[in-house]
Chains A and B, each alone.
Chain A
Amino acid sequence: NAGVTQTPKFQVLKTGQSMTLQCAQDMNHEYMSWYRQDPGMGLRLIHYSVGAGITDQGEVPNGYNVSRSTTEDFPLRLLSAAPSQTSVYFCASSYWGRGQETQYFGPGTRLLVL
């Protein structure tokens, strides 16, 4: 049981480049989410999903796309990276509804956009 895994751990991009941050979980959790963490701020929700084929926007969705084709995977796509997207990104998963109060976090991906 690997829990929540994220790849890559660290990435440097140039402005305008695209990339996908990978997130996978092996706990059969319905709920998955992406957060970004910036200095001096708490985590902010980007997008979330309550099951395969279902996604919704969080607090800061602009510049990011997500899809959920399987229960296990929830990739986050940056279509045209901007310096403002320099941040640490966390993926989290949990059961949906009762039990969702326990969220499991991945180790994070540090992204630097030049």
Chain B
Amino acid sequence: AQTVTQSQPEMSVQEAETVTLSCTYDTSESNYYLFWYKQPPSRQMILVIRQEAYKQQNATENRFSVNFQKAAKSFSLKISDSQLGDTAMYFCAFMDSNYQLIWGAGTKLIIKP
């Protein structure tokens, strides 16, 4: 069975710093998608960034980028120049060939002023 592991339950950094959230996954599939979702206190689930496994180039979206290591089954999220509005739960998710999403337990990120 596929699993997604986020080993950092909570992280805290100062505003404007760079922070990296870790995610590892386990699968025997070769083609799949990986996602990072943000869930602010409003509870709305917001897609941050998406990576297709067959693409070697790491995805970037403004201040958000990923370090995708397919062989190591690692998919970390880097947030540059962190802002107070980045405070949220961050979930890593894996989409298998059946298009089902498997979620990690989440990392609570706190940006301090």
Q: Could you say which of A42, A48, A88, A103 contacts B105, with CB atoms under 8 Å apart?
A: A42
B21 proximal to A (CB < 8 A): no
CA separation between A16 and B33, bound complex, in Å? Answer: 40
Given contacts A40-B105, A42-B91, A42-B106, contact A100 B43 (CB under 8 A): no
Q: Which residues of chain B are near A105, meaning CB under 8 Å?
A: 44-45
Docked-complex contact B95 and A101, CB < 8 angstroms: yes
CA separation between A31 and B99, bound complex, in Å? Answer: 10
Docked-complex contact A43 and B105, CB < 8 angstroms: no
For B68-94 the 0/1 string (1 means CB < 8 A from A) is 000000000000000000000001010
For A73-114 the 0/1 string (1 means CB < 8 A from B) is 000000000000000101010101100111101011010000
Docked-complex contact B4 and A42, CB < 8 angstroms: yes
Total A-B Cβ pairs within 8 A: 50
Interface size for B (C-beta < 8 A) is 21
A52 proximal to B (CB < 8 A): no
Docked-complex contact B43 and A88, CB < 8 angstroms: yes
For B39-75 the 0/1 string (1 means CB < 8 A from A) is 0001111010010100000000000000000000000
Docked-complex contact A43 and B103, CB < 8 angstroms: yes
Q: Which residues of chain A are near B47, meaning CB under 8 Å?
A: 102-103
Interface size for A (C-beta < 8 A) is 23
CA separation between A101 and B43, bound complex, in Å? Answer: 21
Docked-complex contact B43 and A107, CB < 8 angstroms: yes
Q: Could you say which of B4, B9, B99, B100 contacts A97, with CB atoms under 8 Å apart?
A: B99
Given contacts A101-B50, A101-B95, contact A43 B44 (CB under 8 A): no
Docked-complex contact A90 and B45, CB < 8 angstroms: yes
A12 proximal to B (CB < 8 A): no
